[in-house]
Structure 1
Amino acid sequence: MTIERIIDRRTHDLGGGFVVGRVLPFHARRMVGPYIFFDHLGPLELAPGIPKDLDVRPHPHIGLATVTYLYSGQITHRDSLGFEQEVRPGEVNWMVSGSGITHSERLEHARANGASMHGIQAWVALPDDAEESDPSFDHLEGDDLPEWSEGGLKGRLIAGEADGMKSAARIHSPQFYQHWEMQAGAQRGVTSAYPERAVYCAAGEIEVDGTVLAPGQMAVLDGRSGGKVVASQPSQVMVLGGEPIGERFLLWNFVSSRKERLEQAAEDWRAGRMKLPDADNQEFIPFPEKGK
Structure 2
Amino acid sequence: MESNKALFYRGINSKTGKFLVNCLLPSRRLQSVGSIVFLEHLYPVDLRYDHSPLPSGDFAHPHRGIATLNYVLSGSLSHYDSRGYHDIVNAGGLQWMKSGNGIMHDEKPFTREKDRPIFHSLQFWVNLPGIHKKEDPEYAAIQSEDVPEVQLPDHGGIIRILLGEFGVWKSSLPTFNSEFIYHIRLNPNSRFSFLPRQGDEVAAFVPSSEVVINDIVLGNSKMLVLEENVREIVFQNDKISVADIFVFGGKPYKEPIVVEGPFVMNSDAGIADAYKDFFTGAYGCIDYL
Q: Which moved more, 1:215-224 or 1:41-50?
A: 41-50
Cα deviation, residue 142, structure 1 = 5.3
Please name the residue that 1:239 is paired with.
247
Are the equivalent residues in 2 in contact too, given 1:15–1:54 (CA < 8 A)?
no
Once the two structures are superposed, residues 157-198 of structure 1 have per-residue CA deviations (whole angstroms, 9 ceiling, x without a partner) of: 001112332111111221211001112222112331152001
Supply the distance in 1 between the matched residues of 2:207 and 2:145 (Cα, whole angstroms). Answer: 24
1:257 and 2:266 are equivalent in the alignment: yes
Structure-2 residue corresponding to 1:123? 125
CA distance in 2, matches of 1:116, 1:278: 28
Pair 1:164–1:277, CA change in 2 (3 A): same
Q: Which residues in structure 2 correspond to 1:104-143 (within 5 Å)? A: 104-109=106-111, 115-141=117-143
Output the amino acid matched with 1:262. I
Q: 1:163·1:191 contact (CA, 8 Å) conserved in 2? A: no
Answer whether contact 1:48 1:111 (CA < 8 A) is retained: no
Letter in 1 for 2:280: A
> Would the aligned equivalents of 1:48 and 1:110 in 2 still touch at CA under 8 Å?
no
Q: CA 1:153–1:98 in structure 2 vs 1: closer, same or farther (change >3 Å)?
A: same
Q: Give distance in 1, aligned partners of 2:115 and 2:147.
A: 28
Which piece of structure 1 moves more, 179-188 or 251-260? 179-188
Match of 1:197 among 191, 202, 209: 202
Quick check: 2:180–2:249 contact (8 Å CA) kept in 1? Answer: yes
Cα RMSD of the aligned pairs, angstroms, is 2.5
| Kept in 1: contact 2:48–2:111 (CA 8 A) | no
Q: Using the aligned pairs only, state the percent identity.
A: 26
Q: Which residue of 1 aligns with 2:66?
A: 64
2:192 aligned residue (188, 191, 208) = 188
Which segment is superposed worse, 177-186 or 139-148? 139-148
> How far did 1:6 drift?
0.5
Cα distance in 2 between the residues matched to 1:98 and 1:191: 32
What is the CA-CA distance between 1:229 and the residue it aligns to?
A: 1.1
Alignment of 1:1-292 (within 5 A): 3-16=5-18, 18-49=19-50, 57-109=59-111, 115-141=117-143, 144-150=146-152, 151-193=155-197, 194-225=199-230, 226-233=232-239, 234-246=242-254, 247-279=256-288
How many angstroms apart in 2 are the aligned matches of 1:46 and 1:165? 35
Letter of the 1:84 counterpart: H
Normalising by structure 1, report the TM-score.
0.88
Letter aligned with residue 232 of structure 1: D
- The DSSP-based 3-state class of the residue aligned with 1:27 is coil
Change (3 A) 1:111 1:164: closer
Quick one: distance in 2 between partners of 1:167 and 1:191?
19
Task: Give unpaired runs (5+ residues) of structure 1.
Answer: 281-292
CA contact (8 A) 2:156 2:192 kept: no
Deviations 1:236-289 (A, max 9, x none): 111001011223111110011111111121122233332121227xxxxxxxxx
TM-score norm. by structure 2 comes to 0.89
Unpaired runs of 5+ residues, structure 2, are none
- Partner-residue secondary structure (3-state), 1:57: coil
Mean Cα deviation higher: 197-206 or 109-118 = 109-118
